[in-house]
Amino acid sequence: MPVTLTTIDADMTNPTKQEMFDAALKIRKEVLGDAYVDRAFAIKDEFTDDVQEYLTVHSWGGSWARRDADGELTLSKKTRSFMNLAMLCCLNRPHELELHVRGAINNGVTKKEMKEIFLHVATYAGAPALLDGVRAARKVWAEHEAKGR
């Protein structure tokens, strides 16, 4: 059975939009933390409801929560964090990069691994991208360690 958006959960052969949203929201909170996601949904205006639903269903459900026929994630959260750190660094998206450094820590990515990701980025995106990645990682790791984690 090929992997599709509908294989988010092994028990869901034909998931409803709400079931897909719920599965995506669960993994989004596992990676980014309940507090961050809850704050994102608490902001209510003419943009945010549709934006948050789109991000949750398409980014988190369509990618992060993808499962194979056996119900296993197609890629581990740690692997997806590796990819996100590299892409966001290359794309010069500092806000999202800091957010995903936090998520990568939650997913078990170490300082040593982050350093290697950003060094690898330099090969393809240049030294400025490397330096921005290191800056974001240092800031988030300092906050993380200050909390005693």
SS3 73: strand
13 contacts 4 by C-beta, under 8 angstroms: no
pLDDT above 70 (res 7): no
13 pLDDT band, cuts 50/70/90, is low
17 pLDDT band, cuts 50/70/90, is confident
Report pLDDT digits (tens) over 37-92: 999 999 988 888 899 999 999 999 989 998 898 989 999 999 999 999 999 999 99
Which domains are delineated in the chain? 5-64 (no CATH), 77-146 (1.20.1290.10)
The pTM score is 0.83
d(CA 147, CA 57): 31
d(CA 113, CA 27): 22
Report pLDDT digits (tens) over 104-148: 999 999 999 999 999 999 999 999 999 999 999 999 999 999 998
